[in-house]
Structure 1
């Protein structure tokens, strides 16, 4: 299956932002602080969306900060500029898979969130090379790992997960997306370039307090599985109806597993 680049809708980003904030690893931020300058930070956020990473991270870092927000989506950048997470914010409309070393000149920190799975292998290698060349810490959060837990379990959970993960690995042009393989590939790529890499789990835990997000996630998850495997169409529709009813009643919880990574120059 060939696809076009994925676009994140502002409404979806707003819906997921509280769950993202709760899931990200504060332990990695504690480790990060010791590797940052104390006289001011220049942070480049790659694939910034509406700026949720900066809204979460900036209050956890000391001293004056200037953030440069990069995204290929002009609408998301406009939203980020209208709701700046820190006083000094610059937005740049560009393709983060095509940035050059000069684009990150002087960076104290490079960040990204919920991004790696949308890369091909070649794009991820360029991304890692760019970040490693900046010779500063790199914090990448909320990379999917292909594992989902729904309680209570259903006999179709595994089949839907496998089909969704195959959809995540679909072709972008002539090359497959990395999907759930991206985080492990990134860890290996950073280590090959001599960086010290730390990882922590960062799962979404969606219960009754996140019912709207859980329902939206379920629709997207099942929809992608059905698109990937049309033979699942009828059973997947019944499955989605059962799961939606459980989530509406507050009798089901969803755990979507992610991993955060911190790469440190040595």
Structure 2
């Protein structure tokens, strides 16, 4: 998964505040009723620098132990180097790191889990990897919170007729094959929803959104540049068919006139 999950700590830092605002708090607030009494252990998959932990830990009772899983050890290590989040009772959580590919995840890797979480992960998985993660969660019987999976829906404002062509190409790019891995893209969350439902688990979903405006100019600009770069990589003909589109949108960015709504889906699954 290394090519797909090659994200910079700078990008994760830029998006963290908007991720925290966007995540479905109602799903998180339902979690304590699903947890066993006593200390809890949370396994966070594709943890990056630990933004899910920093957001969720204050909403859950303690004591808490977090196990951060990522293929890239340098990202979760930043969570170890920074301040420890506090649980709902004001006690710092403990943190452990696990480095490995999520496609080979097994139930033993989640042994002792009270809760499994992930954020912005499902769309960069393959079907095999998604099945492996769901099977491991089912085996340990832990409630699972999966947030901020892209749906492919994007609204740029002001509207431009050319937006739809770039959106279509971007969504195709999310489904591309990389080193033999066929990515799920916007189908990741629906597929995982179906897998948990087929296994007989309860599943709640919530539509969540990024609202990107000139109040977060760095995030808006980085998101837009990444969005249009991916679209043009997928379909280079966009550059000639819609010449001037990038420059037009960038000029709107510079003037503070551009905004975007990016839609995601959050899932909470738990056994019956």
TM bucket, shorter chain = over 0.9
TM-score, normalised via structure 1 length: 0.95
One of 198, 206, 216 as aligned partner of 2:204: 198
- The residue number in structure 1 matching 2:191 is 185
CA distance in 2, matches of 1:255, 1:122: 30
How many angstroms does 1:251 deviate by? 1.6
Task: Name stretches of at least 5 consecutive residues in structure 2 with no aligned partner.
Answer: 86-91
What are the residue-to-residue correspondences of 1:106-145 with 2, within 5 Å? 106-145=112-151
- The residue number in structure 1 matching 2:157 is 151
- The residue number in structure 2 matching 1:90 is 96
Q: Quick check: 1:164–1:228 contact (8 Å CA) kept in 2? A: yes
CA distance in 1, matches of 2:36, 2:93: 19
* Structure 1 vs Structure 2 CA RMSD: 1.5
How many angstroms does 1:37 deviate by? 2.4
Q: Quick check: 1:33–1:61 contact (8 Å CA) kept in 2? A: yes
- The residue number in structure 2 matching 1:55 is 54
Any idea what SS the aligned residue of 1:217 has? helix
CA distance in 1, matches of 2:254, 2:24: 29
What are the residue-to-residue correspondences of 1:1-266 with 2, within 5 Å? 4-83=3-82, 84-85=84-85, 86-234=92-240, 238-266=244-272
Deviations 1:140-177 (A, max 9, x none): 00000000001111111110000000000001333421
Q: Quick check: 1:117–1:180 contact (8 Å CA) kept in 2? A: yes
TM-score, normalised via structure 2 length: 0.93
Task: Name stretches of at least 5 consecutive residues in structure 1 with no aligned partner.
Answer: none
CA distance in 2, matches of 1:126, 1:104: 12
Any idea what SS the aligned residue of 1:255 has? strand
How many angstroms does 1:237 deviate by? 6.0
Any idea what SS the aligned residue of 1:91 has? strand
Count of aligned positions: 264
